[in-house]
Amino acid sequence: MRPSRLLVAGAGAAGAYMLERALVRRWQVGPEALGDAGLSMPAEVAHHFVATQDGGRIHVVETGEGPPVVLLHGITLGVGVWVRQLRALSARHRVIALDQRGHGQSIAGSAGYGFERLADDLLEVLEARAVSGALVVGHSMGGMVVQIAAVRRPAQLARRAAGIALVATDPGPVVPGPLGRPVGLATAKMAGRAARFAERRGKWVYPGSDLATWGARLSFGARPHPADVELVRSTSTAVSPQAMAGLLAELVDFDLRIELGRIDLPTLVVVGTRDLVTPSWRSRFLASRIPGARLEVLAGCGHLVMLERAELLDGLFEGFLDQLA
């Protein structure tokens, strides 16, 4: 390559790097910005720990009184992403959020990270906290877990829940096409090995803060608040690689499409039109297969509905609970 071309290539690379750094700095804020944006955990929240049958421990936060709303987050997230719901809904409702095993302060037991086990965790928390007549909300991977509970443990869930809400989630398969499952499982296996290797070296899921920031940003729709992006970034970087290794294959292997008709609880399905993680057409399919399901599509919203459209989502939950009552 000629020297002039080398100079042009070098200048282009330097320009691209500077642009990338400038974009990332737009979304990177300090911890104090989370408090200013109302994203710190409310002081009145009570913390509980529920022991699971396989020796695990599930961290639960709870606040408020009234008809219960139970919140289950997606992969690499935690109870903190529901902070706006914990604040707003607790005025009229008992609001409960739990860290799924391997996230936040929850730890896995001997059964590992299978989605069937995560569904059992949910049911054991509902039992331990004496929840009844609840709206059980699942976001992303949490929505998959709620689907499993509704399809495979319907009687147990119905004893505790009056209805379910599936937010920005997927009925499967996560990787479409005839080769999707084998290719996805092979990829998940390699990624799982890399995650375990990273953990042995004292590393986390994301190798650098820039990559974590980009991953968080791409989960939002247009013009997210920097504090929201930072909340998601800081939460995702704290997830154990061991948990990610156990969950990736479960995500790829998940497929409840032919079983959705067995869900007999009232169901609310919510998705954003700019969701790149679980595109809206998948939620439309989900709602079309669940008897009587109600679909709400939010224009311009990305994957993190609970942060991007908090007031609107809270209103949907309250209106749905009023219908259930």
Each residue's pLDDT tens digit, 65-77: 999 999 999 999 9
Whether the model pTM is above 0.85: yes
Rg (CA), the chain: 20
Provide the pLDDT confidence category of residue 32 given band limits of 50, 70 and 90. confident
Mean pLDDT of the chain: 87
Q: Region 132-137: what's the mean pLDDT?
A: 98
Share of the chain above pLDDT 90, in %: 66
Separation CA 15–CA 17 (nearest Å): 5
Q: What is the pLDDT of residue 21?
A: 42
Q: Region 258-281: what's the mean pLDDT?
A: 97
Q: What is the pLDDT of residue 243?
A: 87
* 171 in Cβ contact with 142 (< 8 Å): no
> What homologous superfamily is domain 3-324 in, according to CATH?
Alpha/Beta hydrolase fold, catalytic domain (3.40.50.1820)
Could you state, in order of their start, the residue ranges of all structural domains in the chain?
A: 3-324
Alpha helices in 89-172 (DSSP H): 115-128, 141-152, 154-160
Q: Region 112-128: what's the mean pLDDT?
A: 97
* 321 in Cβ contact with 93 (< 8 Å): yes
Q: 261: buried, middle or exposed (CB in 10 Å: 19+, 13-18, 0-12)? A: exposed
pLDDT at 202 over 80: no
Say which residue, 245 or 174, is predicted with more confidence: 245
Q: What is the pLDDT of residue 38?
A: 87
Q: What is the pLDDT of residue 199?
A: 58
